[in-house]
A and B are shown apart, each in its own frame.
Chain A
Amino acid sequence: MENPEHDPERTAVPDQEPPVSCFHPSTKTHRFIGLVLMCFLCFGSYFCYDTPGALADNFKSDSHLNTSQFALLYSIYSWPNVVLCFIGGYLVDRCFGVRLGTIIYMTIVFIGAVVFAFGVYINAYWLMILGRFIFGIGGESLQVAVNNYVVVWFNGKELNMVFGLQLSISRFGSTVNFWVMESIYRWVAKYYAGYERLGVALFIASLTCLGSLICALFLGWMDLRAEKALRQQAAQVKQDQPFQLKDVLKFKPVFWLLAVICVAYYLAIFPFIALGKLFFERKFDFVPQDANTVNSMVYFLSAALSPFFGILIDKTGRNVTWIMLSIVTTLGSHFLLAFTFVNPYVGVISLGISYSLLASGLWPLVAMVVPESQMGTAYGICQAVQNLGLAVTIILAGMIVDNYGYFMLELFFLGCLFVSLIAAVLIYILDSASEGTLNLSPSARESLLKTRVSTDETANLLDHADSSDQEETDSGLPNSNMASSSAGESGEGAGGGARDSALAQSDRIRSRYISHLLPTTNIPERP
């Protein structure tokens, strides 16, 4: 809704310049190629992120790193990003723009990967740390920039599915890394020895980042071409209202509630996986290998299911309902793990499913509540607070386990989930109170978008209503009418037809009104 230029243009532009080939920016094929490039764009950084993990034993034997030195390879990546990805996102909005931003961040990632590999090759620990640090600067900001790309290209279309796919790719990148790095290392070991073979293996791994960089360049070119053809006006608008850092304070409350979910919900997932292996061994008497399998279930499921849940949410809309549903099922999963001895596969699988559902529904919402010109900063903030939460909680969770045990840790996770559930309910209330689109079906969103311009006049006429309560309900009439009528009937003309029938209209207004007051009751929208 914040970028109403999309749809009118999609219909307007072909009039001027009909799509002659499938590579024309307005076609589905073009978007599909863009999608593939975006996926490969992330692949490199996720692949290289986990190279130390995949070669952990070799790092200990070849480079003689101890456990805390090894752990620093990971924490040097995450800690700076508590601040840096916020700045990275802001820079995308303010200075670079999404194209240049992506290319710059990808270059930084590539340089970081190469420096890290070189540090290992000459066995200089400080250089390894520097490499991981540079890699981290680029990595998370790159994710913010790619999120931006996704929103610009897919908002109002396959947005949820693409976010799901992005999540899949990130998990897939780590998984592929765990599959292939060991064989690459063994192959390199035929020609090199000691820490050199590890260094060379990492140089080979950094080639994936080079590949991603090429994707970034190509995508940049495609986006430039598409903008020239389709989004000229949009670019104009963007330059008219430059985004100031203090505008962050003007973000809607719904955005901050989303940020709360970003932190609180993910706290109950990632630290759980980090500490899960021992939990399954100790509580459920799993042998280490089986414990690993259960533990990896969450990532595996999210990689497999996210795109499909994305499609589901694209088709059904109602993101907030889906989010609430997935938080409730996550609560159930953690409850099973904490309070029963039921086979942990049950809990973990439902955890994985709920997590994928939430991730597919949550991230696209940010795009719906923040104007496009502030998208980078918004995603940057979400990622930053999430990183902060995770960094703090992984330490905190370790302390809880050491002093109070896994049972207490599970209670802590349940607490986090309650917080995120409350945030989700508040989003639902705020959104329906302010006639938001977050929890509408896609067709309702679309028709709302189309009719908003025409209803503005009607709304102006109604602005004279006196009491504030009255004003709220009155000015809500036209919009809610559009929403519920088009949700009920699929055709675009349906909104107009329903408006003619005074009786039907008042019925729907009433049902919509009651649903505002009782957010949890499901008023059937079909008349």
Chain B
Amino acid sequence: MQLNTLIVIVLLSGTITVAQERKISSKVNPGCKTCTNDTILMYVRCDGASDTIHQIWDFTRSIPTVIFAVTKLKSSLDIVWDGNNPTGFYMSETPLYSFATALDKIYEYNDLKDNGHFDPNLPHHIHNLDHMMWHVKEISTTEKEAMVRVYGTLNNDRSEEHGTVAIKLDLIPFKDYAVELPHLIHTANSTQFDVSLVNLTSTPGYNASRFALHLLLVSTDSATETMRYTMRKSLDDEHTPGVFEVIEIKTPALHNYAIGGYLQFRPVGYVQAERGVASSTIAHVSYFNRTSLPVRSTMKTFYDEFGRANLLVQDMMVSFGEGGDGYYAQHNYTAWSFAVGYGSPPTDSFSWYVVLIISGGLLLPVLLAVSGMVYVLVRRHRQRYNSRAMFANED
């Protein structure tokens, strides 16, 4: 019974994979003639069977931003540039739906309660990312992968030293688990966003420094709606050892009509570059607050062109750590990953490995019982035969 369900799940997930495959093509700074090496705007076009997803990964105005715009097939996007900045996004037809997320601030807070949760009442210091300079480390624009890795230095106003914020955006157009922990599911409809905070210096006077990420969530839904937070628990932690929860943040459209944008992640961060169970820590997610788009941002430009007055903009905080872990200073490293995507969020299924083991575990006792019964029957038969033979001898 259980086995059948498992097989059905595996088969279903297989068919969905086929249906969701998309052809991707990516360009860096399309249409820009004046861009320098450190201008980074990646445009990824994902053509599916019935629609096209246009993705814009932007670092030009310093705030790392991922914008999704879903249109019918055969639409196109033109970008108008002014020096190193995009000043207009023109689509050949109005998108059916659009949503975006951006990492606009990093909060440093003095975690006096030592529980990892960010509390606005705690002493804190805000690093605005709108002046960050990003540098490309690696870029890939093949048919099988669109990927960009950038880093920027974060200067602490009150100290000479500076740390690094590294970001990796990655799209692999088929359904599978990411190679690196926490092994999030990537699909043709989603992009994985990795961020790591390396060697950031603490503000003097903060003995319990931790860093939290401030994320903006934007969607073309009614401004009176709200993003939805859901947490699913699974029995199986084989893909992210030690983590049984999956958190999803859904746009109102996804929540109400089963088609929209989402953020999907595991509530786990890593405190060492070598990711593992031992180097994992808890990621805490705050409530959503309503806010507005930063004045000088690519999102502002994009959604102004879009011309939709009704835009839902909310923010949330993600903080890291647990009591007694020695705060950020213990390892001077915090990394976190999430997937941002369109459509319904992918769900976990048991791997073949697990299915094999479970079915083995169920079949083996059955096999043993059957062979035991056969043995008994054969023995009984032989016994009867022997005794008959003996009687015959006696006769």
Q: Which residues of A contact B (CB under 8 A)?
A: 278, 282-283, 338-341, 401-408, 411, 414-415, 418, 422, 425, 467, 469-470, 517-519
**A residues in contact with B243, CB < 8 Å:** 282
Question: Is B238 a contact partner of A404 (Cβ separation < 8 A)?
Answer: yes
Question: What's the minimum C-beta distance from B262 to chain A, rounded to whole angstroms?
Answer: 23
**B residues in contact with A401, CB < 8 Å:** 241-242, 277
Question: Is B390 a contact partner of A411 (Cβ separation < 8 A)?
Answer: no
- Report Cα–Cα, A470/B278, bound state, in Å: 63
Q: Please tell me which stretch of B170-178, B311-319, B353-361 contacts chain A, meaning at least 4 of its Cβ atoms lie within 8 angstroms of it.
A: B353-361
Question: What's the minimum C-beta distance from B321 to chain A, rounded to whole angstroms?
Answer: 14
A-B pair count, CB < 8 Å, reads 63
Which 5 residue pairs spanning A and B have beta carbons closest together? A405-B237, A405-B241, A405-B238, A407-B236, A402-B277
Question: Is A467 a contact partner of B239 (Cβ separation < 8 A)?
Answer: no
Count of chain B residues with a beta carbon within 8 Å of a chain A beta carbon: 29
Given A411-B354, A415-B357, A470-B386, A404:B241 Cβ within 8 A: yes
Given A402-B276, A411-B357, A469:B233 Cβ within 8 A: no
- Report Cα–Cα, A425/B278, bound state, in Å: 40
**B residues in contact with A408, CB < 8 Å:** 238, 354
Given A415-B357, A470-B386, A517-B376, A405:B236 Cβ within 8 A: yes
Q: Which residues of B contact A (CB under 8 A)?
A: 233, 235-244, 276-278, 354, 357-358, 361, 364-365, 368, 372, 376, 379-380, 382-383, 386, 390
**B residues in contact with A469, CB < 8 Å:** 382-383, 386
Given A402-B277, A404-B238, A518:B368 Cβ within 8 A: no
**B residues in contact with A406, CB < 8 Å:** 237, 241-242
Question: Is B278 a contact partner of A402 (Cβ separation < 8 A)?
Answer: yes
In chain A, what residue has the closest Cβ to B357?
A411
**A residues in contact with B235, CB < 8 Å:** 338-341, 407
Of the candidates B237, B376, B379, the one whose C-beta lies within 8 Å of that of A283 is B237
- Report Cα–Cα, A174/B358, bound state, in Å: 37
In the complex, besides A415-B357, A415-B361, A418-B364, 9 extra interface pairs with C-beta distance below 8 angstroms are A404-B241, A405-B239, A406-B237, A406-B241, A407-B237, A411-B354, A411-B361, A470-B386, A517-B380
Question: What's the minimum C-beta distance from A490 to chain B, rounded to whole angstroms?
Answer: 32
Question: What's the minimum C-beta distance from B373 to chain A, rounded to whole angstroms?
Answer: 9
- Report Cα–Cα, A403/B181, bound state, in Å: 10
**A residues in contact with B237, CB < 8 Å:** 282-283, 405-407
**A residues in contact with B368, CB < 8 Å:** 422, 425
Question: Is B390 a contact partner of A282 (Cβ separation < 8 A)?
Answer: no
Question: What's the minimum C-beta distance from B207 to chain A, rounded to whole angstroms?
Answer: 19
Question: Is B390 a contact partner of A403 (Cβ separation < 8 A)?
Answer: no
Of the candidates B242, B276, B358, B379, the one whose C-beta lies within 8 Å of that of A517 is B379
- Report Cα–Cα, A422/B219, bound state, in Å: 59
- Report Cα–Cα, A425/B375, bound state, in Å: 14
Question: What's the minimum C-beta distance from B356 to chain A, rounded to whole angstroms?
Answer: 10
What are 25 sample pairs from A and B whose C-beta atoms fall under 8 A apart?
A: A282-B237, A282-B242, A339-B235, A340-B235, A341-B235, A401-B242, A401-B277, A402-B276, A402-B277, A403-B241, A405-B237, A405-B238, A405-B240, A405-B242, A406-B237, A407-B237, A407-B238, A408-B354, A418-B364, A418-B365, A467-B386, A469-B382, A469-B386, A517-B376, A517-B379
